[in-house]
Amino acid sequence: MPGPQTVWGIDVGKSAFKALKMRLTGDGVEVVGSDYIEHAKIMSQQDADPDALWSAALEKFLAKNDITNDKIVIGISGQQTLARFSKLPPVENKKKIPDIVTYEAKQQIPFDPDEVVWDYQVFETEGSPDVEVGIFAIKRELIRDHLVHFDAQGIEAIAVQAAPLAAYNALLHDGLMGDKAVVIIDIGTESTDLIVGTESSLWTRSIQLGGNNFTEALVKAFKLSFSKAETLKRTAATSKYARQIFQAMRPVFADLIQELQRSIGYYTATHRGVDMGKVYGMGNAFKLPGLQKYIKQNLQLDLSRIDSFSKISIPDKEGASGESSNYSIAYGLALQGLGQASVSSNLLPPEIALAAVWKKKRPFFAAAAACVLLAAGVVWFRGSADKKTLATNAGTASVSVSDKNAWNIIVNPTQDLPPRQYGKLISAAAKSLQSKYRELNSQGQAEIDKAKEIQKLLANRTIWLKILSAVHESLPKPAEAIAKAQNAAEYLSAISKPGLDRESRGEIFIESFTSRYVADVDDVTVKGEYGHAGTKTFKKEGNNPRAGFIIELIGYTTHAKKGIYVDKTFVENLQTKGRVPKQGFFINRVGLMLPNEKARSGGGRGRGRGGRSGRNKPKEQKGPQKKDPLTGEISADDYHFRLVFDVVLADLPEPKEERKDGN
């Protein structure tokens, strides 16, 4: 007989992977397993590979824990979710609440409904007519990016919950919530979750300040690398330079206090009948010297750290620093999986939940089909042994059974038919069920294949952000007055200043950006009249293909030096900004040409430089000349160009592999 259902609550943070395995007991819940895996690097570090860190943590977890018969509930950062709270108008019929909430959600969520996954939670206080609702949402692309790591390891979740709500469930279950509002300050790596709750209500906000901000303050103050500054921060409590460390981080403390005061002030203004109680701190940042005292003095509320829980006992794990509060989110997630959570909203996309249900049903279809075939075999075996009897009851008409009626025929057999007709009916029902099973199974395989294709597409999503960033950073910086302009009026005012005539502004405008993926970038010729001769390129070694993208930009500049200016700024910058070691890609060849030149098949070598050959010189116009639609200036002399370059999806080769090549 199987034991009680067990549930894993999994919280993957930027610094560590935390998981709790829990089950129901006669008088509550108990922890039957835990895991704490600290990442080799903080995911948000510039030199970190988040996908690799995710995979490593999940692989270690699965190597140590058998989750075959366990349910899984996954947490997601409050920074990635949206929370909105509003009081509903008086409702006599509670069945109307879902319709009212749906209307509220459309007003409160600033995205297209098809772009988000959302759910809600109703909060009611006994004896009060007021009904408050919390609406929680996340963009579909974010939740899919989060779940793809678990899918890759075969981990299927029954629910996804925002971290602040999971923490509230844990602390409510542990007895910290009461009539007075309790403030929870959970300082994470990139953000701080502020949770204000009572035993019957909840309010939360994510503040974009976290542990990384303290580390960055140390980087600037002491001129350290990020990793060394992180180590200094973690050992600050025992360091003889604790005072200097605190002073360096003091501006971040001040910003955090300001945000906390503003948020708590908003809560007290909108919940006038609620008394404020204690403040609890969670997160390793509370180990920083002076932080707890600083927050307590400025908020003027009693503040204490959560070091342990009263309702559960968590085994010590190497790397967890003995801090039970590190598991608070995993605690709340596991409670939800066991049906013991007060807030039960779920951000698991409905289509994923439905696919999981169908996947679980497939074995039953297979078993049913096998049983039907066996039953049919018995009938036909018996029939072959008694041919004379069947012959006397011969029925030659074919039998057709729909999949809807097939199962009823099997489980509720009729004895009113002659043996041969009865056998044909059973056989037809078996074939119908078998056909339906094949149909469902093939549908599932198509979904799996589609998911694998999507996963391949997602593999380069972070690379594209870096490529676009490199292109953006390579554009020349315009004059400061122009760069500060926020709208058309400010731009027109800026260019009216002396020395900022059209030909000296140093602006380059991109009109179009196209890209195409190729299995081997070296099969495509990239040539141009600038940025070609003498350019350092990286030839591949051997015959192995180098996958990547061919990117084409169409643009123009108003600068007097025309193509020479584009070459000496944009092109040369691309060959610097696009060649950073260990970022997963590098820009190899760059070709600059006129818009009508070909980018492939050797047709891209132009003749003139900077318009000196006259190829880009505008023809003399007799009628009205073309003007800039914004400034009204004559734009006929602007230099239009096409820029083609290849992006190799590999790390930049070592310097010894670098060589000059004019091809």
- The pLDDT-based confidence of 447 (bands split at 50, 70, 90) is low
Spell out the residues 6+ positions from residue 32 whose beta carbon is closer than 8 angstroms to its own. Answer: 6, 21, 22, 23
Tokens of 630: 């914004």
Note the pLDDT tens digit of each residue in 26-56.
889 999 999 999 999 998 888 888 889 999 9
Share of the chain above pLDDT 90, in %: 32
Rounded Cα distance, 118 and 98, in Å: 13
pLDDT of residue 621: 47
CA 193 to mean position of chain CA atoms:
18
CB 115 within 8 A of CB 172: no
pLDDT of residue 393: 47
Compute the average pLDDT of residues 92-112. 87
Spell out the residues 6+ positions from residue 345 whose beta carbon is closer than 8 angstroms to its own. Answer: 119, 120, 121, 134, 136, 161, 165
Rounded Cα distance, 426 and 410, in Å: 7
CB 634 within 8 A of CB 627: yes
The winner for highest mean pLDDT among 264-273, 329-338, 362-371, 436-445 is: 329-338
539 or 197, higher pLDDT = 197
pLDDT of residue 330: 94
Note the pLDDT tens digit of each residue in 495-541.
888 888 888 888 899 999 999 888 889 888 887 654 444 467 888 87
Compute the average pLDDT of residues 386-414. 59
Beta bridge partners of 644: 552, 591
Tell me how far CA of residue 415 lies from CA of 257, 377, 383, in angstroms.
Answer: 81, 18, 15
pLDDT of residue 622: 52
- What radius of gyration do the chain's Cα atoms show? 33
Rounded Cα distance, 467 and 426, in Å: 62
The domain limits of the chain are 1-176+308-348, 179-305, 357-457, 461-660
Rounded Cα distance, 549 and 546, in Å: 10
Average pLDDT, the chain: 81
Domains 1-176+308-348 and 179-305 agree in fold: yes
Rounded Cα distance, 81 and 205, in Å: 10
What's the longest Cα–Cα distance across the chain?
112
Dihedral in degrees, nearest 10, Cα atoms 74, 77, 81, 86:
90
Strands 181-187 and 276-282 come out as parallel
pLDDT of residue 444: 60
pLDDT score of 659 more than 60: no
- The pLDDT-based confidence of 157 (bands split at 50, 70, 90) is very high
- The pLDDT-based confidence of 203 (bands split at 50, 70, 90) is very high
Compute the average pLDDT of residues 119-142. 88
Rounded Cα distance, 519 and 99, in Å: 51
Note the pLDDT tens digit of each residue in 627-652.
888 888 888 888 999 999 999 998 88
**Helical axes 403-411 vs 419-458, angle rounded to 10°:** 130
The winner for highest mean pLDDT among 125-139, 208-222, 413-427 is: 208-222
Query: What is the amino acid identity at position 635?
Result: S
pLDDT score of 247 more than 70: yes
pLDDT of residue 540: 82
CB 317 within 8 A of CB 409: no
pLDDT of residue 296: 86
User: What is residue 429's DSSP assignment?
Assistant: H
Residue whose token pair is 């509903």: 88
pLDDT of residue 551: 93
CB 401 within 8 A of CB 407: no
Tokens of 331: 């605690």
Share of the chain above pLDDT 70, in %: 78
- The pLDDT-based confidence of 376 (bands split at 50, 70, 90) is low
User: What is residue 65's DSSP assignment?
Assistant: -
pLDDT score of 228 more than 60: yes
User: What is residue 530's DSSP assignment?
Assistant: B
Residue whose token pair is 């059209």: 502
Within 10 A of 300 (CB to CB), how many other CB atoms are there? 10
CATH topology of domain 179-305: Nucleotidyltransferase; domain 5 (3.30.420)
pLDDT score of 370 more than 80: no
Compute the average pLDDT of residues 447-453. 60
pLDDT of residue 158: 94
pLDDT of residue 363: 53
Strands 159-162 and 71-76 come out as parallel
Pick the CATH number of 1-176+308-348 from 3.40.50.150, 3.40.50.720, 3.30.420.380, 3.90.550.10: 3.30.420.380
pLDDT score of 165 more than 90: yes
Note the pLDDT tens digit of each residue in 592-633.
887 765 444 333 333 333 444 444 444 444 556 678 888 888
pLDDT of residue 1: 47
Spell out the residues 6+ positions from residue 299 whose beta carbon is closer than 8 angstroms to its own. Answer: 183, 257, 260, 261, 264, 279
Q: Would you list the DSSP string of 293-349?
A: HHHHHHHTS-EEE----SS------TTSTT-GGGGHHHHHHHHHHTT--S-----S-
Note the pLDDT tens digit of each residue in 339-365.
999 999 999 988 776 665 545 554 554
Strands 116-124 and 159-162 come out as unpaired
CB 205 within 8 A of CB 211: no
Rounded Cα distance, 172 and 28, in Å: 14
Within 10 A of 507 (CB to CB), how many other CB atoms are there? 18
SS3 321: coil
Tokens of 119: 């759910």
pLDDT of residue 360: 53
Instruction: Report pTM.
Output: 0.56
CB 137 within 8 A of CB 81: yes
CB hemisphere CA count around 304 (13 angstroms):
8
Within 10 A of 347 (CB to CB), how many other CB atoms are there? 23
Tokens of 370: 């096998």
Spell out the residues 6+ positions from residue 266 whose beta carbon is closer than 8 angstroms to its own. Answer: none
